[in-house]
Amino acid sequence: MSVSDTLASPLPSATRDLARAFADLDRHGYAIVEGALSPERVAALRARVIDQARGEDAQGLGFHDGKTNQRIWMLPNKGKIFRDLMLDPLVETAMTRLLGKDFILSSLTANIARPGGVPMYLHSDQGYVDFWTPKPLVANIAWMLDDFTAANGGTRLVPGSHLNPDRIDYALEDTIAAEGPAGAALIFDGRLIHGTGANITADQDRHAVLSYHCRPFVRQQENYYLGLDPALRETERGLFLKRLGFRIWAGLGRTNEPGEKGPLSPLTSPLGPLDPEGRPFPDT
Ligand SMILES: O=C(O)CCC(=O)C(=O)O
């Protein structure tokens, strides 16, 4: 498939047909899956995002991009509703297809694009890799918690740019807005050029949760080894811990435990320097 093939076929629109969505992903680098979230789930997630955003501002900890937009980081710590979203069957299916079955979470964040927000710089989510890769190393799902429109900051993207090995600079004029109804999931290849759109409405905030994933040898955007609430390490599901990367994969991520099977635990007393008889050796 080439960039010209992409340009020759109609651009993706919202679909409930997963086979079509995956064909859109291959050809255009993105797909819009309609009805990925029920209206009840959209309402519950949206309400939590709004409350959390206000709560973080109230504590003076809100993370703001520019004057208006707000990002909420580390959602795995911020409610079971987000941890359940992380393990949604659509995530499992789409990310396995794009990144292989051992994909891990890179970050789980909310992004609120508010009126007056300027367009985010155009980038690919694997832009820190300074060469093109024939397969994606990372991939993203933007869960639409409002209708996404060109006016309210629907994600701008350059269709087919995932297939362009020449890492050219794209301009806003090269982009289109991803549009879809609340509850849709915008799935995109990590090589696709994109960015949050400008919200030019008078009064419509655009809410999204972004489930960003990577292959298991890529450094994650959020550092769960340091940042995850330690209580969750004790109580959460095995799959949750696997998706955060708390397992040995292909020999990577070892501590001192030999096994490759289950999630690793933090070392409470790491093995230190020993003398030949196995006694502690002074660490001076
Ligand atoms: O919120 C959006 O529309 C896209 C955000 C984005 O581009 C990103 O997080 O990399």
- For the chain, give me the number of helices (H) and strands (E)? 8, 10
Residue 80 lies in a domain: yes
Please name every residue paired with 188 in a beta bridge, in sequence order, or none if there are none: 30, 140
Residue 262 lies in a domain: no
Residue 190 lies in a domain: yes
Q: Which domain holds residue 209?
A: 3-244
The total of structural domains in the chain comes to 1
CA-to-CA dists, residue 147 to 33, 51, 99, 178, 180, angstroms? 13, 19, 28, 10, 6
Give the pairing of strands 63-65 and 30-33: unpaired
What is the full DSSP assignment across 78-102?
S-HHHHHHHT-HHHHHHHHHHH-TT
pLDDT tens digits for range 151-164: 999 999 999 999 99
For the chain, what is the largest distance between any 2 Cα atoms, rounded to a whole number of angstroms?
74
Q: What is the DSSP-derived secondary structure letter of residue 160?
A: T
| Residue predicted with more confidence, 276 or 256 | 276
pLDDT band at 260 (very low <50, low <70, confident <90, very high): low
Q: State phi, psi for 148 to the nearest 5 degrees.
A: -95, 125
Residue 269 lies in a domain: no
Residue 267 lies in a domain: no
The answer, yes or no, to whether residue 4 has pLDDT greater than 70, is: no
For ligand 1, atom 7, the nearest C-alpha belongs to 195
For ligand 1, atom 2, the nearest C-alpha belongs to 196
Alpha-carbon gap, residue 188 to 193, rounded angstroms? 10
Torsion on CA atoms 64, 125, 92, 231, rounded to nearest 10: -40
**If phi over 0 gives left and psi between -120 and 50 gives alpha, with beta otherwise, what is residue 177?**
beta
145 lines ligand 1 (CB under 6 A): no
Classified as helix, coil or strand, 58 is helix
196 lines ligand 1 (CB under 6 A): yes
Q: What is the pLDDT of residue 107?
A: 98
On whether the CB atoms of residues 159 and 30 are closer than 8 A, the answer is yes
**Looking at residue 235, which CATH number applies to its domain?**
2.60.120.620
Ligand 1 atom index nearest CA of 111: 1
Q: Count Cβ atoms below 10 Å from residue 90 Cβ, excluding itself.
A: 18
pLDDT tens digits for range 36-57: 999 999 999 999 999 999 999 9
Residue 212 lies in a domain: yes
Q: Count Cβ atoms below 10 Å from residue 59 Cβ, excluding itself.
A: 8
Residue 283 lies in a domain: no
Residue 263 lies in a domain: no
pLDDT tens digits for range 201-218: 999 999 999 999 999 999
Q: Distance, CA 195 to ligand 1 centroid (Å)?
A: 5
User: pTM (2 decimals)?
Assistant: 0.95
208 lines ligand 1 (CB under 6 A): yes
Please name every residue paired with 111 in a beta bridge, in sequence order, or none if there are none: 71, 208
